[in-house]
Structure 1
């Protein structure tokens, strides 16, 4: 359950911090586990903004993330459902996505680009091995490129 405390908002066992991203249907928050201090990203999705087809796609994505475990694919730690909202507790990528890396560093050296492409290929291979495809690859996609 989400609630406000004197120190901020709480979702499940997590203290929610600042916003780290947003999309058409969700907002992503930085958070920490109240006991362990583990950093996570919480993707908050308002279900009322999703039509039936998008809700089915979301549930399919959640199902996939539950069963895939690979260092180059973002990890789903928990799902917290509330009336009208679902919170996906995801692995926190402190380095951000590839787009942020390029913005911070400008040009990317060939060796670094090769390393990133090898990580991307490894993640895509796991998806392919599970008869899955990713139809929306872009620099903002959160394959774990930097730990």
Structure 2
């Protein structure tokens, strides 16, 4: 099997698809949707993404979901079942199996071994998962921060 050479002009399109996966990891994502974001056929996208990033698009999405789940289990008092749903899994069994494969311990065991202050789950649900990130960056690289007085953003 020969290695796929990724055309340099395709790299920004692959990054766009990877960004879609990063932003929407908790939503149902499939190969067709990610390939559309890259603007190429799904089979070409699959080969080029794997060559560029060392894993298939769905392996990438799975890894991102599990990374986010580990963050939530470490930093909040949410249950494993709640975290499972928040990161895009509909089956607790599938989630636990993937988590164990990638992290090395079950989600419950991982959560038990984490120490430190935890954000109450009600705040996570009330404010949304991304509210803990106080700043965001635009595509042009400008950083914006939400003000406390209103819902508008200030540069």
The TM-score normalised by the length of structure 2 is: 0.26
Flag the structure with higher strand content.
Answer: 1
Flag the structure with higher helix content.
Answer: 2
State the structure with more CA Rg. Answer: 2
The TM-score normalised by the length of structure 1 is: 0.27
More relative contact order, 1 or 2 (CA 8 Å, 6+ apart): 1
